[in-house]
Structure 1
């Protein structure tokens, strides 16, 4: 099918998705979502859908695996009580039939523990929005680590690390590859306060997943994960021979920058916009300028010696604070479908 034809389908999907996002209550959302879901499934069955960008669907995730083996179409519907329902289609090429096939991940979180620990089938999914896919070798097979987000409930949000693999013509989730000092997990959940955000990203050049270290706001709140926040330090999972090994208290670094950058400026004489290359180097302001208070100025005027600035506090967060990695399972408060 030509991309022009797919653009007509996309236009209808955009209209249906806008209707879903503007729905006022659960009844309207369920009806609008059913229409959008049916049309999306019809659309991605068409020839060319795997490579079509679907860039107009702004509130639906659509990502490919880096090796082009599959593509995810993934979205959420927030309920009246601020819990979430999740939907996901996996589009992949079937070598046997020589056609693309669709595998649906079905959100069954109402019947699952809040943080399930076992390997899950496609029709027994906990629900999440995936935003990164990392291929990795496990023996002779390729499996995929996925990074996801879950809005959870009115008081907390979750990030999740999981492993997606294809087996028996379907998708399974979970694999014992997340190595902690005293245990190995099939997936990892991080739960934290709704009032904050948690950074979690894959750094390909270092083969690591780096993320904020979470801790309770005060020691008295230990175990109350809706009160956990980033403590300004970072941890990471380092990939080694198909396993992710936890390393605590790592340093995050920015990508290498070029030595020069090009800046644009207006010539005051001619009014022309010109460009000039300058050194791309940040200089510590304290080396060339030190802020002063009115008291400092009075002392200088009186000939007194200016006081030296106080030393910076380089205290690192206590690494022994409890972590929120895969805490004890609880019942997820979602309304029964």
Structure 2
């Protein structure tokens, strides 16, 4: 069954500092609003058109139209709220924003598109080229904008030590039986974005860990898995996964949550692994569940709209 991860992507609204700070005037506001109407139609077609060829054609038109809109002075301050199938996220300091979206090709293939727009009056952006199919081990790869590990991003936060590095949380539809969520590192070196850094401590097996450049959770496509930052705990928190037999004849095993929650806390420039930060008592054994189920929440944890 085709599953496209688009039910209700919420466009994140930027934080622009203190309330008394005036927002710069956006050049050609009416032109951008007209272009947004076109972008809204194209973004819907990227997801819902009937064939890969039509979806790809809509995607190419979307890219050209988006660039046209962003070329207007101070376009960074325009939120593009009507584009529902594209994620737009900002860090708390609003120094940049990231557009990312997904193109469904077939049940085992998804392409990702994205761009980073810097918070400057004149357009400064970094288009991201998805080369995830060429990354054999995503946990051990430092990547740049032209060999990006493509994803649909849902959160971005600065490191606690103000080092200029950012945590970047993403979703990868990957393949029919397995999906991925991961937390990456974004930094800017010599003016260019760099993805990945050896800062995550990952459990390999009980009482054994290793340092990885990118922390990846791969799980059965019917499972619901959490991976995000918890401000109340000052930790990255995620479901503890266990291997279980798959109910599908074409798949032997799959990873699913077992009810425990693991975490990572920041210390000595490393996100250090902490097992089972608190336990959840399951009312029933682990079982497949839709990625977006009856709790009516989307990937960003927001209420879905009908």
Instruction: Give the structure-2-normalised TM-score.
Output: 0.75
CA distance 1:225–1:192, change in 2 (3 Å) = farther
- Residues 216 and 225 of structure 1 are in contact (CA less than 8 Å); yes or no, is this contact kept in structure 2? no
Partner deviation per Cα, 1:194-226 (whole Å, 9 max, x = no partner): 11110122112321011110101259xxxx896
- Residues 192 and 225 of structure 1 are in contact (CA less than 8 Å); yes or no, is this contact kept in structure 2? no
CA distance 1:100–1:136, change in 2 (3 Å) = farther
Q: Equivalences for 1:58-69 in 2 at 5 Å?
A: 58-69=84-95
Structure 1 stretches of 5 or more lacking a match? 254-311, 318-337
Distance 2:123 2:278 in 1: 42
Q: Which runs of 4+ in 1 moved over 4 A?
A: none
CA distance 1:99–1:233, change in 2 (3 Å) = same
Structure 2 stretches of 5 or more lacking a match? 1-26, 203-207, 287-306
Shift of 1:102: 0.6
CA distance 1:143–1:44, change in 2 (3 Å) = same
- Residues 175 and 186 of structure 1 are in contact (CA less than 8 Å); yes or no, is this contact kept in structure 2? yes
Q: Equivalences for 1:70-85 in 2 at 5 Å?
A: 70-85=96-111
Partner deviation per Cα, 1:257-309 (whole Å, 9 max, x = no partner): xxxxxxxxxxxxxxxxxxxxxxxxxxxxxxxxxxxxxxxxxxxxxxxxxxxxx
Shift of 1:48: 2.9
Does the alignment pair 1:11 with 2:51?
A: no
**SS at structure 2 position matched to 1:18:** helix
CA distance 1:214–1:124, change in 2 (3 Å) = same
Shift of 1:137: 5.3
Number of corresponding residues: 251
Instruction: Give the structure-1-normalised TM-score.
Output: 0.68
Distance 2:199 2:165 in 1: 11
Does the alignment pair 1:213 with 2:235?
A: no
Shift of 1:67: 0.9
Q: Equivalences for 1:198-277 in 2 at 5 Å?
A: 198-218=225-245, 227-251=254-278
CA distance 1:226–1:174, change in 2 (3 Å) = farther
Matched with 1:28 is 54
CA distance 1:90–1:226, change in 2 (3 Å) = farther
Matched with 1:325 is none
Matched with 1:123 is 146
- Residues 113 and 130 of structure 2 are in contact (CA less than 8 Å); yes or no, is this contact kept in structure 1? yes
- Residues 183 and 214 of structure 2 are in contact (CA less than 8 Å); yes or no, is this contact kept in structure 1? yes
Distance 2:272 2:43 in 1: 40
| RMSD of aligned alpha carbons | 2.7
- Residues 136 and 242 of structure 1 are in contact (CA less than 8 Å); yes or no, is this contact kept in structure 2? no
User: Of residues 88, 91, 111 in structure 1, which corresponds to 2:114?
Assistant: 88
Partner deviation per Cα, 1:162-213 (whole Å, 9 max, x = no partner): 1001112211100111124532111111100011110122112321011110
CA distance 1:230–1:204, change in 2 (3 Å) = same
User: Of residues 156, 162, 179 in structure 1, which corresponds to 2:184?
Assistant: 162
Does the alignment pair 1:141 with 2:167?
A: no
Matched with 2:70 is 44
**SS at structure 2 position matched to 1:12:** helix
Distance 1:141 1:133 in 2: 14
Shift of 1:233: 0.7
Distance 1:8 1:80 in 2: 32
Judge which range, 10-19 or 108-117, deviates more. 108-117
Distance 2:178 2:184 in 1: 19
